[in-house]
Structure 1
Amino acid sequence: MKIKELSLVSNIDLPLELNISFQKVFTLFKKYANKDFEKHPFYASANEMVKIFEKNPELNTGFSDLSLVEKYSEQINLLLDPLFPEPLRLNEIKAATVPFSFTSLKYTDRLNNILENAGEDYEFKVRNFEDDSMYIMACTFILGFVYDFNIDIKRPFYFDIPDKTTGTMKYYRAAFNADFTEIIPTNKAPKLTQEDFKELLNNFDDVEIWKEKFPVNSYIFKGFGLLNLFDVTSEEMLSSIKANLLAGDDNLIFKLQNNLRDFYSIKDLKLGYSIFDNVNDKICETSISKANSIILSKDSEINCGDGYFCNRIIQKVFVNHETFTISDVEDYGVKTDKNPFYQTLHDSGIQSIIIIPIKATKNGDLALLEIASPKAYDLNSVNINKLKDIIPVFEAAVKRTSEERQNVLEATIQENYTSIHSAVKWRFYQAAEKYHVDSQTNDTAKLDEIIFDDVYPLFGQSDIKGSSDARNNAIQEDLTTQLTLAISVLKDACKTEKLPIYNELMFRVSTYLKDVNKGLSAGDEINILDFLKREIYPVFNHIKNINKTLANKVDIYTNRLDADLEVVYEKRKDYEDSVTLINDKLAKFIDKKQKQAQKMFPHYFERYKTDGVEYNMYIGQSITKSKVFNDLYLYNLRLWQLQITCEMENLAFYERKNMKQDLRVASLILVHSNAMAIKFRMDEKQFDVDGAYNIRYEIIKKRIDKSHIKGTEERLTVPGKIAIVYSQEKDALEYIKYIKFLQSKNQLGAIEFLDLEDLQGVSGLKALRVEVIYQKDFDETKTITLNDLIREIES
């Protein structure tokens, strides 16, 4: 097979008219054909070569007609022989070519074999080299040859050549020798000045400027070049592996596997990845995907102490952290009595494998890199040395991934357990940075107090109404069921054994049952369960041994008990599942909406789950460094809060169909017009109001939901209505505007104006109470947008 020849009249424009000439070779031969070199070994052959040139003058003067390459192929082959020593033709990857066209004139046996093995469809061309890049490259060639303006853009040429024998790709870097070339300006070539050169340097990517300075075919390339290829598959793979590890996308293992297939020339090579958990002493599934692990193909996790691995792997990989190679899996199976690890490899079609342990620095976990082949001895203790340059890259990536994973875990912990809200996190970083700097020079450095002055508070809650009564009723029903089942067992026991003790126990259980039906007092449940364990269960153990019927009866009783709590836990579970459902739905909803609200103006937000959800918000200039605060943002957040409360009411109402116990929520908003300060309490790890005057606000928050309407026994918070508590008339007027807006959207109904009873230490509170109009087909994803709210405020 010949290298695919490209036409000298190229499909792409070039500033060079390509002209094949062997003039410089002729000059060299003519030198040795001189009688001064008569005794030189080259003298005779040089004379023969000169004769060839004399008979075929076009080889000296040059030609552009590609058909002449074929005509003079025999002569060209002889002329170039000295540049292609026969002892090196099986080793060197070299060709005589014309640059920018890669027309072949002569090439080594090894290059020919490589291209023969690439397949009929392979086209010999440079990787990632566009037409414009080729044109500019030719121009820089001219600048160096003709004008001595050297531009160092030595961008390497690469050829990607498939190897059909192994089914992998080989990568070659090209070096071009231009010793046998010259560049000749034509009358079309403008004379370039220093100013032109500077303009070109400032416009490297503008091909039109280059074409202006170097018109098409304005110079003649005369001669040929020598193209040398060097196998850089290993270097390319190392570079590609680094790039893929840095990118770290979802297809990482697949990309790395392809890299290693080319690196080892094994088309069926497999790559796996697993993690040894230092905490639990287990091999755990990879954090990328369980399917990426070869040694965990069957099990999600394996305990190292259960005999899964042989002692050699335990010692070498998990203790000494050394690479382990199995060149022949079947031989390994014989030596280990076909242990579970062998079985996993055998079932996966693996016949040779390399296991490389990489220790993560931050948490002590051990990552295992698994490289496997379906053929024995494809991977062995010799070719493992090829990985020496790659393993450090994997180590760096594993350590980085481990640290990123640890950071994610720490972020999750911080978000869910010790949250510092994103809006105020900057202030904590500021204090920590100051403390770090101060501590370098001051042993008594202290952390700054975190205080935000002049912030406006917003408080709201959606509380499950009657949750205490519902919980007590559920407990009462479960105890009634449990005691009734106990009486049923004892009744059947009386029929089998006429023992007075059974009647006495039935009497006592019945007494407890009557007390439960009347109502529960504190400690009743504990006393009843203690009685059952102490007096009844020993009797049940006896009854089970009397006959099968009684044993079945006791089993019926036992099967109704919760396995962990040892009580009937049915109605309580329904209640608690319903509470959990509504809590989770409301919490997730407001968390999602709150992130959107942060875009209006950054503000502090904290949310708690109780029997329902309650939350605090604080907004003001001191909360943020990035925006200028205006009262407009406070009004906007208040309207947003009322809107969200309506939506949470609808969400809770809509979820009733999914609850096993019907629960309703009652919503409340507390309005406070005066700015205050909040301070982070280091001991409690949370924000609290700062200053004696502001304590009144905290008292109201804790007591307001239990308050009554003045002069009545009616509670302020009731299902189906939102209570808005205030103390200043201007606040009522503000919220009436918001209510009217939501009435126009058919979300709120009639308003009540209420005076509230005095609380301990607090008097003069009033409330608006407004009816919620529940939407027929409420969709939490289709609600009033932030833009709607902003337009309403601005109007």
Structure 2
Amino acid sequence: MHTSILNINDDHCVACQVETRLSFKPLMNHLEERIKTEHPIKAQFYRFLLERLYKIDGKDFQISVADVEKHHEIMVLIYTILTPLVANEKEFFWAMSTAVPDKIFFSTDAFYNFYTNHERAKGEPDFDSTTIEKKQVQFIYQLILKKFYNFTSVFRDEKIYTYTDPETSLNRYYAIHADTRFIDIHVKGELPEIDFEQLGAQMHKGTELELLRDALPLTNFRLEGFTIITLTDITMTHAIDNIRSVLVNHTYEQDAYPKIIQSLKTLVGNADVEFGLMPFLTVNDKLVFDSDQCVESVLMDAAKEAGIEDEVLYQMVVDYQKDPKPIFYTNITDEKAMQNPFLRIIRHAGIYSYTLIPIFYNKQLAGILELHSRKELMIDEVLLSKLRGAIPLLAQLFQYGIDAFNAKLDAVLKDKFTSLQPSVQWKFNEVAYNYLRKVNAGEEIAVIDTVTFEDTYPLFGAIDIRNSTIERNMALQDDLKSLLTTLIDTLKIIKEHVELSLVDKLIYDTGEWLIRINDYTNTNDEIMLSSFLNAEVEPLLQHVKASNAITGPAIDAYFNAIKEESGLAYRKRRELEESMQLINTSVSRYLENEQTALQKSYPCYFSKFRTDGVEYDIYIGQSIAPERPFSNLYLKNLRLWQIRSMAEIARLTRKLSKKMHNPLFTTQLIFIHSHPINISFRNDERRFDVEGAYNIRYEIVKKRIDKVLVKGTAERLTQPDKIALVYFNQNEAGEYIQYIQYLQEQGYLNHEVEYLELEELQGVSGLKAIRVGVNYPETI
């Protein structure tokens, strides 16, 4: 034990601002109270100490710091009473100081050695960049506010002391705790009122001390007693908190790994142990080694230095994934490295000791933690036990990294591509990942690769609303008739109440328009009629309504009629749009449900889009699902489904026609193309398109056959209640004929089968078609 005086604050004397006295009176009062309640044996020990304290010659049992050495035995007795019996003073950081921690006058060997070895020349307390003087002032005001105002939340009791261990060059952290039970505070004069709301506001600004100095000058107080100071090693707790702070602050995308690795080194307290962190990032369920995310992995660095291909490393990690468990290698010699490819990579990097620990997140392997050393080092249970508290946080870190990596891929997909189907998204993932690698490699103009699928078999189908253009024109014509009739009725009512020759002219012009509409309506007529109504009719109606109230109801009836969402002048077009919407929505929903079932058989790309009806493209082939063997059986299954689904769609739309004001009917068209084609995703238009001259011919035919005529006639190939299949040669049609015969037996198709030649299209000749009738159940 030491009675040597340690000056905490030589430069700034806070004690000069407040009167302080080293007194044992507060301790004696405390002991006298404890004797009343303690066990007799312990009380007897307290009495023994009190007897010694009563012999101190001084007012209120006060002594000077310089005279502490004369009372060494009493100091030892105080230490014995106030500390656990099992505390080893060689290891226990404990000391007694003046009431304001200005001078330490008694301390354990551990505290004395710690302080003298780590003075400010070697380490600086981490007091949030404020001076020791400010902390001492805060300490005094904390005591004053607690005793006289019962206010305890202004300042923290515990402070953190940080220093760098010269042996390991690693930081260590100690919590400083001041026990103030044995301090009495005396006030000179009256205590003022304190506005604690204002104090709270000052605390937020960091200017609370200025307010307290004005309200409670330190010269008005006297402190008597002493303070107990203890230091507690919180290095491990602080390191864990640092890791947690990185995660909470979401800095893992920037410099998280270096910070966390430094905290791990602090945890184990050994500068010879290095760490690596490697989350398991995947693209299409395959591991990838992203340089940005795996930059702190010694395994990645060693493999790169050794010239190991990613495929070799990938296979090693895949093998490890099958049986993830801790792996320990100590004293990695050249001889051992020659016998083990994995050790050869590690040894090539100059590493003698290597440990690998699997990290799990929600029971799933999220990555690995690496411990390695360039010295012969035993990584034992004691060292690993220090890391246990960090393992759950590392699991969270890895998951954050995985989520961040996936978010980057998703951002590229959304920016560069359209909404993707799962069957082809794997390819877009690969392209997005390659694009990110180019960006990370620093390419000034990183170009994203083209997504291409080779040798895919196309299937095209179109469900069209029959005569949709004619139906639109008829609906428009009927609506315009209703509009003009309503307008004539309105103008006649106005004529009864207003003497204007212009009204007669408008009635005449409207009648002329009604005759014109009955004959034919084209776009030019619509424009001219709209100009007539807006420029001539509406201004007159507005003026008449404002000047002659009796005409108001008739004029309002006209304006209500021309409201698009509810007016009589749009009724037929609304009914037609509702009917078309009903068909398209129902057909789209049917195809979406069917697509889900088709994908279970074999992945395919299924794209549908709306015209006046619904069209779809399907592509299937080995390149779309490289991991699954492709067979023509899957293609045949799709072709059979294509005809059956067309029959079911025809039945569906026939049933829907009963719910329409003017029944609409659909035609069903299939284009047969037996040869595989290549398709590529066009980034500018965000859709797939065919490649190559021959393949483009397929696209041309597909776009022109919807209105093709039967050769030598004016008859359209596509007809309601029928399915039309267009092809080039008989070999292509043979397979479909078998499907037609099967579906006839199943009751989907009737026996009306036609084999037709089609007229030549621009740039296309030799087209043929099969047309077969749909069999409707009696309930439809």
TM-score, normalised with respect to structure 2: 0.47
TM-score normalised by structure 1 residue count: 0.46
